[in-house]
Amino acid sequence: MSVLKNKAINLFLHRSEKAALVRFALLYAAVSLIVVGIGATLYRDYRTQLHLSNARAQMLTYAYEQTKRLKMLHHFFPEERAYPRDTRFESAIYDIENNTIFSTLRNSKVDFDKEISFTEGNDYIQLVKTLDTFYLGTRYLVIETKDDGTWRSVMWRDIFLYGFVAVVLLTLFGLYLAHLFLRPMRRSILLLDRFIKDTTHELNTPLSTILTNIETIDTTKLDPKLRKKLGRIDTAARTVSLIYQDLTYAVLDRHKKGKETLLDVERIVKERVEYFRTIAQAKAVEIVLDTKPFRTVMNKRKFVLLFDNLLSNAVKYNRRGGTVTVVVRQGLLRIEDSGIGMSKEVLPYIFDRYKRFTEETGGFGIGLSIVKRIVDEYGIVIEVRSTEGKGTTVALKWRRQ
């Protein structure tokens, strides 16, 4: 058993459009973030290497000067034992096995595999110089300077600035792509709306003529076979009439507010059930009424559209010889059928416009979208419970009376 409760519908996009747009937006956002992230990483690495390259030139000069001092100390050792120091940098000497001979370094962890690198914490830059002559047993001379981090602040400022510009440009480009992405879908929907609008105008006169003439015929004087054929015509005409009412509302009258009056729901339901009995009898479907008085303020045409669509679906998607139960209570209208039911996978999409889940019956797939629009307008809670192969129950609950 699966349950679906109504949610708000966006007035500007159909659900199918929204779903497609959300999928596109998520994919585009993910790709954009990856592109911006890669760009930021490459720019950070470039600025880091550029700073190290600039520092390398100065530190090689320091290394050359310190090497000359070590050479002098080597020649005058052991008479001269003072290790040469410089206020501009710190230094250290290591033997061939990377053992410390002497060090004034602030950070003792040295990466001998890199000529120049940042220390842990990025506070210092270390340059490793390999000496050709082993002065005092020295194989490696390490020069260390303090990094003030000013360049790094400028780098992050540039990354955020360029990143923001890139995000804005990618967003504008994404909106343009989304417009192109949705254009075919919107064009198809507009063409379908236009077709329905044109068709609606052409249906009115012949349909009214058929129904009027059927009602004037005295069926008691007709041959049984002819009466049966006339009944089929009547059923077909009423079915087309229901489709016509949906089309008229969906295309022409959906934005009209309409006059609201105090409705006798029980009486209207009984009248509409009688109207549907001819259609139900064609499928041998029995409509059972269980009603009690219920009054509410609402536009009558919208209520009739609401009820007709729900009852029509209950009959249309029922099995031959099935039943439809209509229950009316104060603040409640419930329609139960013993039809084919729906799977839980399709329930979230039953209110989508032009959405149809079976080709066995006719229609444009707009009936339940009309139902959803009307219940949202009046704040009516709609609950749909359906079990595939067993039937569907639709309950309308009025929040205010």
The whole-angstrom separation of Cα 179 and Cα 17 is 11
Task: Tell which of 152, 173, 194 closes a domain.
Answer: 152
Alpha helices in 124-221 (DSSP H): 150-216
Question: By the 8 A CB rule, do 141 and 63 touch?
Answer: yes
The pLDDT assigned to 7 comes to 38
308-366 per-position pLDDT tens digit:
889 988 998 899 999 999 999 999 999 999 988 888 888 888 887 656 656 555 555 67
Instruction: Kindly state whether residue 165 falls inside one of the protein's structural domains.
Output: no
Instruction: Kindly state whether residue 202 falls inside one of the protein's structural domains.
Output: no
Q: Torsion angle of alpha carbons 273, 321, 395, 349, nearest 10°?
A: -110
Task: Tell which of 152, 175, 197 closes a domain.
Answer: 152
CB atoms within 10 A of CB 26: 10
Q: Tell me the average pLDDT of the chain.
A: 82
pTM above 0.75, yes or no: no
Question: By the 8 A CB rule, do 116 and 126 touch?
Answer: yes
Range of the domain at 126: 22-152
Q: In percent, how much of the chain has pLDDT > 90?
A: 35
Instruction: Kindly state whether residue 160 falls inside one of the protein's structural domains.
Output: no
Amino acid at position 389, single letter? G
27 and 148 in a common domain: yes
Instruction: Kindly state whether residue 79 falls inside one of the protein's structural domains.
Output: yes
Whether residue 13 is predicted with pLDDT greater than 60 in this model: the reply is no
The pLDDT assigned to 27 comes to 85
Task: Tell which of 152, 181, 208 closes a domain.
Answer: 152
83-142 per-position pLDDT tens digit:
999 999 999 999 999 999 999 999 889 999 999 999 888 889 999 999 887 778 889 999
CB atoms within 10 A of CB 175: 12
What total number of domains does the chain contain?
2
Instruction: Kindly state whether residue 297 falls inside one of the protein's structural domains.
Output: yes
Q: What is the CATH number of the domain that holds 349?
A: 3.30.565.10
CB atoms within 10 A of CB 122: 11
